[in-house]
């Protein structure tokens, strides 16, 4: 697969920045640093959540939006989320779509019908998952691209849980592209603009779930068009006889779909009682950690939105999220909730795999973001010594989100000890040397030396051991365990093998007398990753490995 340059979703205004570092500390994927008074932004680590924009007190962090200036040979199409309608209380969706066409969009595509299609398809997938021999619970919504990217970056073991159904935006985009080619032929090339409530493109630059599908290649924030659209709406209200400059697509807004942008709006249209709706970045991370540890297997479907209150709280909306939430609730009270599409027609499309999204759950994380070279056991020990030496408060004055990230930057040669104000104040900002690696041993030698029982994966006993790591939280292990390490854990489910494969570990050691599940053994044999057993506490084995240096 060709390497694709990641798209920048945010930009920093140095003239406005006060250096408060709130954005550095708020980023969930540590994509932002402050170096020499300027922001350094790793675009390939950004998930587009907009949290840096939300916490900046002076507006120095802004979203990167597409300019709307299509050439003559392009047919601009606005893909419209129901969130846009909530920004104009009392205004009809029809007039809002008409206003967009006055602004220069040749066509508008409301996704309300495709929302209902998606919900019906999700229902069917849930039903068939119940009937499966080994149902996978909970299923996770693929709708919020920020949540999907967060899973790819920090919780890749949960990728198989993401519902493989094309999102409503994808379904609407495909239909819009088809209709443009049908009506205009080769006279005009369709260009899809998504009117977006957050600084996000709808799919990763190297697609994970949506291969060979048309998606909006350009995004415009709701707040950027709000002023111009308001003026056009004023004109439409004063001159109601005005006709639209182009015939809209037949897919028009459904008022009951306004709740789609509100947290819980997605699961409200899915016929399952075992569902959850989680909103807000902090809550999303917390619940993904719980799912990864094996909780919520009695829940069938979880809707995640990284923005507070759902998409209504997106950083690129123009109206307060609580006011728009009230608009949605009043509209629902007035119109009620009902379906407009035939379930039998949806099931026919489902059987034809019209909703199917192909995915590769093991390769997704490596496509999503760059991975730094793994650190040796000595380098990790040096990081621990630095953190202990600093004994700081994660002030971020050095430009890194926390003391541990700063220590890693120092060990990797990307920062200097003199950047730390604590070390400078103590006169400890001199150079430090990181120890060199020692001779390696293989897993077989390690097992024999420490009396470890081989439970599975015997074909991989010749793997070289380059370090060790202790931990039971899979996301933590994914982010910190080094290549070639032995992993000490009590987890025996098959997800540990997915992590071991992705991090290219030497072996997994189950401690405390825990045993691997049958599926785990089978997968270990298949992947050639040894599973070793230690019947005493992890503390004891870790101490012995550390004392022996893990490697000779």
Element (H, E) at 525: helix 518-527
Element (H, E) at 61: strand 61-63
Q: Give, in degrees to the nearest 5, the angle at Cα 131 between 130 and 136.
A: 45
Higher pLDDT, 552 or 539: 539
Instruction: Note the pLDDT of residue 242.
Output: 53
Tokens standing for residue 80 = 């419209």
**Other Cβ atoms within 10 Å of 157 Cβ, number:** 23
**Other Cβ atoms within 10 Å of 273 Cβ, number:** 6
Please choose, from the candidates 256, 258, 255, 228, the residue with its C-alpha nearest in 3D space to the C-alpha of residue 101: 228
Which residues, at least 6 apart from 193, have a Cβ–Cβ distance to it below 8 Å?
66, 68, 76, 77, 78, 79, 105, 216, 218, 219, 220
Report pLDDT digits (tens) over 270-284: 988 899 999 999 999
SS3 110: strand
Range picked from 38-47, 271-280, 398-407 for highest mean pLDDT: 271-280
Report pLDDT digits (tens) over 327-351: 888 877 776 666 667 777 777 778 8
Residue 68 has pLDDT above 90, yes or no: no
179 confidence band (pLDDT: 50, 70, 90)? confident
Instruction: State if pTM tops 0.85.
Output: no
- Mean pLDDT score across all residues of the chain: 82
14-20-25-29 Cα dihedral, nearest 10 degrees: -10
Report pLDDT digits (tens) over 104-163: 888 888 888 888 889 999 999 999 999 988 899 999 999 998 999 899 888 989 999 999
HSE, CB side, 13 Å, CA atoms: give it for residue 418: 3
Residue 258 and residue 283 in contact, taking contact as beta carbons nearer than 8 Å? no
In angstroms, the CA 282 to CA 242 distance is 47
Q: Would you give the DSSP letter of residue 106?
A: S
Q: What is the mean pLDDT of residues 471-490?
A: 88
Residue 147 and residue 305 in contact, taking contact as beta carbons nearer than 8 Å? yes
Q: What is the mean pLDDT of residues 372-395?
A: 81
Q: Would you give the DSSP letter of residue 186?
A: T
Peptide bond into 138 cis (omega under 30): yes
Question: What HEC string does 149-183 produce?
Answer: HHHHHHCHHHHHHECCECCHHHHHHHHHHHHHHHH
SS3 431: coil
Report pLDDT digits (tens) over 412-456: 888 888 888 888 877 776 544 433 344 568 899 999 989 999 999
| Rounded percentage of the chain residues whose pLDDT exceeds 70 | 84
**Other Cβ atoms within 10 Å of 315 Cβ, number:** 23
Q: What are phi and psi of 469, to 5 degrees?
A: -150, 140
In angstroms, the CA 519 to CA 182 distance is 50
367 confidence band (pLDDT: 50, 70, 90)? very low
| Rounded percentage of the chain residues whose pLDDT exceeds 90 | 34
Report pLDDT digits (tens) over 70-88: 667 778 888 888 899 999 9
Residue 184 has pLDDT above 70, yes or no: no
Q: Give, in degrees to the nearest 5, the angle at Cα 32 between 149 and 207.
A: 25
What are the structural domains of the chain? 10-63 (3.30.70.20), 75-336+345-358 (no CATH), 377-426 (1.10.15), 441-547 (3.40.1390.20)
Report pLDDT digits (tens) over 241-265: 655 444 444 445 555 567 888 999 9
Please choose, from the candidates 507, 500, 456, 509, the residue with its C-alpha nearest in 3D space to the C-alpha of residue 474: 500
Q: What is the mean pLDDT of residues 479-499?
A: 90
Question: What HEC string does 442-500 produce?
Answer: EHHHHHHHHCCEEEECHHHCCCEECEEEECCCHHHHHHHCCCCEEEEECCCCCHHHHHH
Flag the least confident range among 50-54, 218-222, 366-370, 524-528: 366-370
Report pLDDT digits (tens) over 453-469: 999 999 999 998 888 88
Which residues lie across from 456 on neighbouring strands?
A: 531
**Other Cβ atoms within 10 Å of 107 Cβ, number:** 23
Residue 493 and residue 475 in contact, taking contact as beta carbons nearer than 8 Å? no
Instruction: Note the pLDDT of residue 245.
Output: 43
Instruction: Note the pLDDT of residue 282.
Output: 93
Residue 386 and residue 407 in contact, taking contact as beta carbons nearer than 8 Å? yes
In angstroms, the CA 341 to CA 3 distance is 41
Instruction: Note the pLDDT of residue 256.
Output: 56
Please choose, from the candidates 442, 438, 482, 481, the residue with its C-alpha nearest in 3D space to the C-alpha of residue 465: 442
Instruction: Note the pLDDT of residue 212.
Output: 44
Residue 465 and residue 506 in contact, taking contact as beta carbons nearer than 8 Å? yes
């Amino acid at each position: 697969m060709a390497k694709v340059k990641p798209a920048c979703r945010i930009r920093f205004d140095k003239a406005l920045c006060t250096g408060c570092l709130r954005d550095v500390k708020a980023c969930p994927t540590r994509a932002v640093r402050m170096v020499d008074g300027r922001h350094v932004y790793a675009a390939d680590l950004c998930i587009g959540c907009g949290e840096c924009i939300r916490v900046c007190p002076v507006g120095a962090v802004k979203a990167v939006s597409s300019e709307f200036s299509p050439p003559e040979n392009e047919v601009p199409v606005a893909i419209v989320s129901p969130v846009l309608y909530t920004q104009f209380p009392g205004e009809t969706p029809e007039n809002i779509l008409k206003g967009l066409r006055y602004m220069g969009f040749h066509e508008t595509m409301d996704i309300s019908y495709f929302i209902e299609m998606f919900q019906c398809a999700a229902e069917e997938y849930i039903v068939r998952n119940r009937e499966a021999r080994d149902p996978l619970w909970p299923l996770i919504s693929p709708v919020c691209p920020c949540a999907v990217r967060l899973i790819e970056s920090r919780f890749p073991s949960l990728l198989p849980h993401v519902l493989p159904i094309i999102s409503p935006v994808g379904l609407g985009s495909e239909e819009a592209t088809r209709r443009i080619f049908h009506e205009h032929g080769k006279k005009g090339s369709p260009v899809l603009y998504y009117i977006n409530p957050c600084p996000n493109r709808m799919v990763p630059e190297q697609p994970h779930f949506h291969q060979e599908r048309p998606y909006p290649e350009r995004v415009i924030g709701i707040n950027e068009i709000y002023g111009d659209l308001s003026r056009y709406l004023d004109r439409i209200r004063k001159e109601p006889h005005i006709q639209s400059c182009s015939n809209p697509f037949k897919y028009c807004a459904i008022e009951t779909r306004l709740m789609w942008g509100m947290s819980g709006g997605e699961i409200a249209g899915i016929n399952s009682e075992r569902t959850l709706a989680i909103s807000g970045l902090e809550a999303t991370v917390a619940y993904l950690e719980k799912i990864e540890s094996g909780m919520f297997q009695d829940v069938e479907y979880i809707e995640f939105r990284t923005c507070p209150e759902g998409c209504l709280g997106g950083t690129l909306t123009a109206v307060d999220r609580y006011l728009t939430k009230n608009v949605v609730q009043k509209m629902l009270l007035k119109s009620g909730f009902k379906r407009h599409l035939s379930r039998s027609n949806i099931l026919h499309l489902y059987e034809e795999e019209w909703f199917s999204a192909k995915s590769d759950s093991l390769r997704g994380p490596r496509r999503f973001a760059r991975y730094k070279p793994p650190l040796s056991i000595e380098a990790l020990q040096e990081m621990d010594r630095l953190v202990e030496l600093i004994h700081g408060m994660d002030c971020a004055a050095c430009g890194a989100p926390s003391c541990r990230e700063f220590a890693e930057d120092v060990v990797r040669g990307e920062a200097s000890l003199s950047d730390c104000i604590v070390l400078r104040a103590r006169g400890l900002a001199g150079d430090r040397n990181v120890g060199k690696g020692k001779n390696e041993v293989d897993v077989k030698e390690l097992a024999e030396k420490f009396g470890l029982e081989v439970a599975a994966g015997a074909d991989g006993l010749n793997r070289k051991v380059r370090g060790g790591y202790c931990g039971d939280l899979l996301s933590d292990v994914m982010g910190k365990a080094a290549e070639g390490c032995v992993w000490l854990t009590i987890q025996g489910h098959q997800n540990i093998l997915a992590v071991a494969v992705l991090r290219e570990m030497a072996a997994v050691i189950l401690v405390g007398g825990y045993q691997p599940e049958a599926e785990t053994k089978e997968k270990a044999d298949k992947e050639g990753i040894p599973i070793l057993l230690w019947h005493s506490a992890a503390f004891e084995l870790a101490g012995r490995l550390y004392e022996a240096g893990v490697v000779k």
